[in-house]
Protein backbone atom coordinates (compact mmCIF):
# COMPACT_ATOMS: atom_id res chain seq x y z
CA UNK A 1 0.00 0.00 0.00
CA UNK A 2 1.26 3.44 -0.81
CA UNK A 3 0.61 6.84 0.67
CA UNK A 4 -0.78 9.86 -1.19
CA UNK A 5 2.67 10.71 -2.54
CA UNK A 6 3.11 7.35 -4.24
CA UNK A 7 5.63 5.92 -1.74
CA UNK A 8 5.17 2.80 0.37
CA UNK A 9 4.00 3.48 3.90
CA UNK A 10 6.84 3.68 6.33
CA UNK A 11 9.35 4.50 3.60
CA UNK A 12 10.35 8.12 2.96
CA UNK A 13 11.53 9.17 -0.48
CA UNK A 14 15.23 9.64 -0.87
CA UNK A 15 16.53 13.20 -0.42
CA UNK A 16 13.07 14.39 0.53
CA UNK A 17 13.99 16.87 3.30
CA UNK A 18 10.52 18.29 3.36
CA UNK A 19 10.60 19.54 -0.26
CA UNK A 20 7.83 17.32 -1.64
CA UNK A 21 5.56 20.37 -2.17
CA UNK A 22 7.98 22.12 -4.53
CA UNK A 23 7.42 21.89 -8.30
CA UNK A 24 9.47 19.28 -10.05
CA UNK A 25 12.54 20.57 -11.86
CA UNK A 26 13.26 19.26 -15.32
CA UNK A 27 16.46 17.27 -15.49
CA UNK A 28 19.45 19.12 -16.89
CA UNK A 29 20.28 17.99 -20.37
CA UNK A 30 23.64 16.37 -20.80
CA UNK A 31 25.85 18.62 -22.93
CA UNK A 32 26.51 17.29 -26.38
CA UNK A 33 30.01 16.02 -26.97
CA UNK A 34 32.38 18.45 -28.66
CA UNK A 35 32.77 17.63 -32.31
CA UNK A 36 36.11 17.99 -33.93
CA UNK A 37 36.24 19.67 -37.30
CA UNK A 38 38.74 18.76 -39.92
CA UNK A 39 41.03 21.67 -40.79
CA UNK A 40 40.25 21.01 -44.45
CA UNK A 41 36.48 21.15 -44.05
CA UNK A 42 34.74 24.45 -44.93
CA UNK A 43 33.36 26.40 -41.97
CA UNK A 44 29.58 26.59 -41.72
CA UNK A 45 28.27 30.08 -40.97
CA UNK A 46 24.77 30.57 -39.50
CA UNK A 47 22.51 32.01 -42.19
CA UNK A 48 19.67 33.35 -40.07
CA UNK A 49 21.76 36.27 -38.71
CA UNK A 50 23.22 37.40 -42.02
CA UNK A 51 21.43 40.43 -43.46
CA UNK A 52 22.02 41.58 -47.02
CA UNK A 53 24.11 44.71 -47.38
CA UNK A 54 21.89 47.78 -47.74
CA UNK A 55 22.46 50.89 -49.70
CA UNK A 56 20.60 54.13 -49.19
CA UNK A 57 16.94 53.18 -48.87
CA UNK A 58 13.72 54.57 -47.51
CA UNK A 59 12.66 51.87 -45.06
CA UNK A 60 9.45 52.14 -43.03
CA UNK A 61 10.13 51.60 -39.35
CA UNK A 62 7.07 50.04 -37.74
CA UNK A 63 8.31 50.85 -34.27
CA UNK A 64 8.79 54.54 -35.17
CA UNK A 65 5.63 56.48 -34.19
CA UNK A 66 6.74 59.40 -36.34
CA UNK A 67 6.78 57.51 -39.64
CA UNK A 68 9.52 56.22 -41.94
CA UNK A 69 13.04 57.54 -41.80
CA UNK A 70 15.92 57.65 -44.24
CA UNK A 71 18.14 54.70 -43.42
CA UNK A 72 21.69 54.47 -44.67
CA UNK A 73 24.70 52.25 -44.12
CA UNK A 74 27.25 54.87 -45.05
CA UNK A 75 30.39 54.88 -42.95
CA UNK A 76 30.65 57.37 -40.12
CA UNK A 77 32.58 60.53 -40.94
CA UNK A 78 33.48 63.57 -38.94
CA UNK A 79 30.96 66.39 -39.04
CA UNK A 80 32.05 69.81 -37.82
CA UNK A 81 29.39 71.46 -35.62
CA UNK A 82 29.85 75.23 -35.42
CA UNK A 83 27.78 77.52 -33.22
CA UNK A 84 27.42 81.21 -34.07
CA UNK A 85 26.80 83.07 -30.85
CA UNK A 86 26.94 86.45 -29.18
CA UNK A 87 24.62 87.52 -26.39
CA UNK A 88 24.53 90.98 -27.93
CA UNK A 89 21.87 91.26 -30.59
CA UNK A 90 22.22 92.92 -33.96
CA UNK A 91 25.69 91.60 -34.80
CA UNK A 92 24.66 89.60 -37.92
CA UNK A 93 24.55 86.12 -36.37
CA UNK A 94 21.61 85.03 -38.49
CA UNK A 95 22.96 86.70 -41.62
CA UNK A 96 26.31 84.99 -41.13
CA UNK A 97 24.76 81.59 -40.42
CA UNK A 98 22.73 81.72 -43.62
CA UNK A 99 25.42 83.04 -45.95
CA UNK A 100 28.25 80.99 -44.48
CA UNK A 101 26.09 77.88 -44.87
CA UNK A 102 25.36 78.79 -48.49
CA UNK A 103 29.05 79.46 -49.20
CA UNK A 104 30.15 76.15 -47.63
CA UNK A 105 27.49 74.35 -49.67
CA UNK A 106 28.69 76.10 -52.82
CA UNK A 107 32.13 74.59 -52.15
CA UNK A 108 30.63 71.11 -52.35
CA UNK A 109 29.95 70.46 -48.65
CA UNK A 110 26.71 69.06 -47.28
CA UNK A 111 25.46 71.70 -44.85
CA UNK A 112 22.67 71.83 -42.27
CA UNK A 113 21.77 75.07 -40.52
CA UNK A 114 19.72 74.93 -37.31
CA UNK A 115 17.50 77.81 -36.25
CA UNK A 116 17.71 77.90 -32.45
CA UNK A 117 16.40 81.46 -32.09
CA UNK A 118 12.72 81.90 -31.07
CA UNK A 119 12.54 84.89 -33.40
CA UNK A 120 12.82 82.36 -36.27
CA UNK A 121 14.61 84.88 -38.48
CA UNK A 122 16.81 82.24 -40.06
CA UNK A 123 13.80 80.15 -41.05
CA UNK A 124 12.04 83.19 -42.51
CA UNK A 125 15.19 84.22 -44.37
CA UNK A 126 14.91 81.05 -46.44
CA UNK A 127 11.37 82.03 -47.46
CA UNK A 128 9.64 79.55 -45.12
CA UNK A 129 6.33 80.56 -43.54
CA UNK A 130 6.82 79.90 -39.82
CA UNK A 131 3.09 80.23 -39.11
CA UNK A 132 2.24 77.06 -41.05
CA UNK A 133 4.95 74.76 -39.71
CA UNK A 134 3.40 71.59 -38.22
CA UNK A 135 6.55 70.75 -36.22
CA UNK A 136 9.74 72.62 -35.41
CA UNK A 137 12.93 72.45 -33.37
CA UNK A 138 10.78 73.02 -30.27
CA UNK A 139 9.23 69.56 -30.72
CA UNK A 140 12.68 68.06 -31.23
CA UNK A 141 14.06 69.48 -27.98
CA UNK A 142 11.01 69.11 -25.75
CA UNK A 143 9.06 66.15 -27.16
CA UNK A 144 12.01 64.15 -28.57
CA UNK A 145 10.58 64.42 -32.08
CA UNK A 146 13.11 63.15 -34.68
CA UNK A 147 15.02 66.06 -36.16
CA UNK A 148 14.96 64.35 -39.56
CA UNK A 149 11.27 65.23 -39.89
CA UNK A 150 11.69 68.99 -39.43
CA UNK A 151 14.58 69.45 -41.84
CA UNK A 152 13.61 71.23 -45.03
CA UNK A 153 15.71 71.26 -48.18
CA UNK A 154 16.41 74.57 -49.92
CA UNK A 155 18.41 75.28 -53.10
CA UNK A 156 21.32 76.42 -50.90
CA UNK A 157 21.43 74.11 -47.87
CA UNK A 158 19.21 72.18 -45.47
CA UNK A 159 17.58 73.88 -42.50
CA UNK A 160 16.07 72.62 -39.24
CA UNK A 161 13.23 75.08 -38.88
CA UNK A 162 12.03 77.03 -35.83
CA UNK A 163 8.81 78.76 -34.86
CA UNK A 164 7.62 81.08 -32.12
CA UNK A 165 6.92 77.97 -29.99
CA UNK A 166 10.64 77.87 -29.27
CA UNK A 167 10.13 80.78 -26.86
CA UNK A 168 8.68 78.29 -24.38
CA UNK A 169 11.44 75.72 -24.77
CA UNK A 170 13.63 76.93 -21.91
CA UNK A 171 10.75 76.71 -19.44
CA UNK A 172 9.73 73.27 -20.72
CA UNK A 173 13.31 71.98 -20.57
CA UNK A 174 14.10 73.40 -17.15
CA UNK A 175 12.59 70.44 -15.28
CA UNK A 176 14.08 67.73 -17.50
CA UNK A 177 17.08 65.62 -16.63
CA UNK A 178 19.91 66.15 -19.10
CA UNK A 179 18.28 69.29 -20.45
CA UNK A 180 21.64 70.73 -21.54
CA UNK A 181 22.20 67.80 -23.92
CA UNK A 182 18.85 67.80 -25.71
CA UNK A 183 20.24 69.27 -28.95
CA UNK A 184 23.38 67.12 -28.83
CA UNK A 185 21.25 63.96 -28.69
CA UNK A 186 18.91 65.22 -31.41
CA UNK A 187 21.58 65.89 -34.03
CA UNK A 188 23.46 62.65 -33.38
CA UNK A 189 21.17 60.82 -35.82
CA UNK A 190 21.98 63.16 -38.75
CA UNK A 191 25.64 64.07 -38.19
CA UNK A 192 26.80 61.42 -40.65
CA UNK A 193 24.73 63.07 -43.38
CA UNK A 194 26.52 66.43 -43.23
CA UNK A 195 29.99 67.90 -43.38
CA UNK A 196 29.03 71.05 -41.47
CA UNK A 197 26.22 71.88 -39.06
CA UNK A 198 25.79 75.57 -38.23
CA UNK A 199 23.67 76.64 -35.25
CA UNK A 200 22.11 80.09 -35.04
CA UNK A 201 21.55 81.03 -31.39
CA UNK A 202 19.41 83.63 -29.61
CA UNK A 203 21.01 86.83 -28.25
CA UNK A 204 21.37 85.44 -24.73
CA UNK A 205 23.34 82.92 -22.71
CA UNK A 206 20.29 80.93 -21.62
CA UNK A 207 19.49 77.24 -21.87
CA UNK A 208 19.08 77.23 -25.65
CA UNK A 209 22.55 78.71 -26.10
CA UNK A 210 23.98 76.27 -23.53
CA UNK A 211 22.47 73.44 -25.61
CA UNK A 212 24.20 74.83 -28.68
CA UNK A 213 27.56 75.07 -26.87
CA UNK A 214 27.22 71.51 -25.56
CA UNK A 215 26.55 70.16 -29.05
CA UNK A 216 29.28 72.14 -30.83
CA UNK A 217 32.93 71.64 -31.65
CA UNK A 218 33.62 75.37 -31.76
CA UNK A 219 32.02 78.78 -31.58
CA UNK A 220 32.33 81.61 -34.09
CA UNK A 221 31.55 84.94 -32.45
CA UNK A 222 30.29 87.69 -34.79
CA UNK A 223 31.06 91.11 -33.32
CA UNK A 224 30.85 94.69 -34.40
CA UNK A 225 33.97 96.81 -34.20
CA UNK A 226 32.53 98.71 -31.23
CA UNK A 227 33.64 98.93 -27.63
CA UNK A 228 30.34 97.72 -26.09
CA UNK A 229 30.22 94.75 -28.44
CA UNK A 230 33.71 93.68 -27.40
CA UNK A 231 32.82 93.66 -23.70
CA UNK A 232 30.28 90.91 -24.30
CA UNK A 233 33.06 88.57 -25.41
CA UNK A 234 34.38 88.33 -21.86
CA UNK A 235 31.08 87.01 -20.52
CA UNK A 236 30.73 84.56 -23.41
CA UNK A 237 34.25 83.27 -22.79
CA UNK A 238 33.43 82.75 -19.11
CA UNK A 239 30.31 80.77 -20.06
CA UNK A 240 32.35 78.57 -22.40
CA UNK A 241 34.79 77.89 -19.55
CA UNK A 242 31.91 76.52 -17.45
CA UNK A 243 30.64 74.43 -20.39
CA UNK A 244 34.11 72.95 -20.92
CA UNK A 245 34.38 72.07 -17.26
CA UNK A 246 31.01 70.35 -16.90
CA UNK A 247 29.48 69.46 -20.29
CA UNK A 248 31.71 69.68 -23.36
CA UNK A 249 35.48 69.77 -22.85
CA UNK A 250 36.25 70.33 -26.54
CA UNK A 251 34.19 73.45 -27.27
CA UNK A 252 36.19 76.65 -27.76
CA UNK A 253 36.15 79.95 -29.58
CA UNK A 254 37.17 79.00 -33.09
CA UNK A 255 37.05 82.52 -34.47
CA UNK A 256 36.01 86.10 -33.81
CA UNK A 257 34.39 87.58 -36.90
CA UNK A 258 34.12 91.31 -37.47
CA UNK A 259 30.77 92.15 -39.05
CA UNK A 260 29.22 95.38 -40.32
CA UNK A 261 32.78 96.61 -40.50
CA UNK A 262 33.59 100.15 -41.56
CA UNK A 263 37.33 100.70 -41.71
CA UNK A 264 36.91 104.40 -42.48
CA UNK A 265 36.12 105.31 -38.86
CA UNK A 266 38.77 105.73 -36.18
CA UNK A 267 36.59 103.95 -33.63
CA UNK A 268 36.35 100.81 -35.81
CA UNK A 269 40.10 100.71 -36.32
CA UNK A 270 40.80 101.18 -32.60
CA UNK A 271 38.28 98.51 -31.65
CA UNK A 272 39.82 96.12 -34.16
CA UNK A 273 43.29 96.72 -32.75
CA UNK A 274 42.02 96.05 -29.22
CA UNK A 275 40.32 92.86 -30.40
CA UNK A 276 43.45 91.58 -32.14
CA UNK A 277 45.57 92.43 -29.11
CA UNK A 278 43.23 90.46 -26.82
CA UNK A 279 42.38 87.43 -28.98
CA UNK A 280 45.35 87.26 -31.34
CA UNK A 281 44.97 84.82 -34.22
CA UNK A 282 41.43 83.94 -33.18
CA UNK A 283 40.37 87.12 -34.95
CA UNK A 284 39.46 86.04 -38.46
CA UNK A 285 41.09 87.71 -41.42
CA UNK A 286 37.81 88.11 -43.26
CA UNK A 287 35.83 91.27 -42.62
CA UNK A 288 32.12 91.43 -43.39
CA UNK A 289 31.38 94.99 -44.42
CA UNK A 290 28.01 96.63 -44.02
CA UNK A 291 25.91 96.67 -47.18
CA UNK A 292 22.23 96.95 -47.97
CA UNK A 293 22.46 93.76 -50.06
CA UNK A 294 22.66 91.66 -46.88
CA UNK A 295 19.31 93.09 -45.78
CA UNK A 296 17.66 92.76 -49.20
CA UNK A 297 18.55 89.11 -49.83
CA UNK A 298 16.35 87.55 -47.09
CA UNK A 299 13.35 89.46 -48.45
CA UNK A 300 13.75 87.34 -51.58
CA UNK A 301 14.15 84.18 -49.47
CA UNK A 302 17.75 83.59 -50.51
CA UNK A 303 21.33 84.17 -49.44
CA UNK A 304 23.37 87.04 -50.77
CA UNK A 305 25.33 84.52 -52.85
CA UNK A 306 22.18 83.87 -54.86
CA UNK A 307 20.77 87.37 -54.67
CA UNK A 308 23.92 89.08 -55.95
CA UNK A 309 26.42 86.39 -56.75
CA UNK A 310 29.09 88.73 -58.12
CA UNK A 311 28.79 91.38 -55.40
CA UNK A 312 31.26 92.26 -52.66
CA UNK A 313 29.13 90.73 -49.89
CA UNK A 314 29.02 87.36 -51.67
CA UNK A 315 32.79 87.49 -52.18
CA UNK A 316 33.33 88.20 -48.47
CA UNK A 317 31.26 85.22 -47.38
CA UNK A 318 33.02 82.97 -49.87
CA UNK A 319 36.31 84.12 -48.38
CA UNK A 320 34.93 83.43 -44.90
CA UNK A 321 33.92 79.89 -45.90
CA UNK A 322 37.41 79.22 -47.23
CA UNK A 323 38.94 80.52 -44.02
CA UNK A 324 36.63 78.38 -41.88
CA UNK A 325 37.54 75.26 -43.86
CA UNK A 326 41.25 76.07 -43.58
CA UNK A 327 40.99 76.58 -39.80
CA UNK A 328 39.05 73.33 -39.39
CA UNK A 329 41.61 71.37 -41.41
CA UNK A 330 44.40 72.92 -39.39
CA UNK A 331 42.67 72.02 -36.12
CA UNK A 332 42.07 68.44 -37.18
- Give the rounded percent of residues in the chain with a pLDDT score beyond 90: 66
User: Based on the number of CB atoms within 10 Å of its own CB, is 322 exposed (0-12), middle (13-18) or buried (19 or more)?
Assistant: middle
50 band by pLDDT with thresholds 50, 70 and 90: very low
* Domain range 77-331, CATH architecture: 3-Layer(aba) Sandwich (3.40)
Instruction: Give the Cα separation of 122 and 116 in Å (integer).
Output: 9
The answer to whether 65 and 283 have CB atoms below 8 angstroms apart is no
pLDDT 10s digits, 188-225: 999 999 999 999 999 998 999 999 999 999 999 999 98
pLDDT 10s digits, 134-164: 999 999 999 999 999 999 999 999 999 999 9
- Give the pLDDT confidence score for residue 251 in this predicted structure: 96
Give me the residues paired with residue 261 across strands.
289
- Give the pLDDT confidence score for residue 191 in this predicted structure: 96
The structure's pTM equals 0.77
Q: Which residue has the higher pLDDT, 96 or 62?
A: 96
User: Based on the number of CB atoms within 10 Å of its own CB, is 3 exposed (0-12), middle (13-18) or buried (19 or more)?
Assistant: exposed
Amino acid sequence: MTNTFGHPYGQAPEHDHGQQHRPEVAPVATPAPIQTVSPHAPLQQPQEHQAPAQTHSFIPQQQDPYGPRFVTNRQEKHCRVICLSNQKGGVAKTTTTMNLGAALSEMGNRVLVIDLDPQSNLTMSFGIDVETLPKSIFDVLVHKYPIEHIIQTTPECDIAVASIDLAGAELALSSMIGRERALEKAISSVKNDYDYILIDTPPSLGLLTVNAFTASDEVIVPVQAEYLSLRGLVQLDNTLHVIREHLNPKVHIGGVLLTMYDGRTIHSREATELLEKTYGDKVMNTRIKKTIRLAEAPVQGSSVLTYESNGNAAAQYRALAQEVVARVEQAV
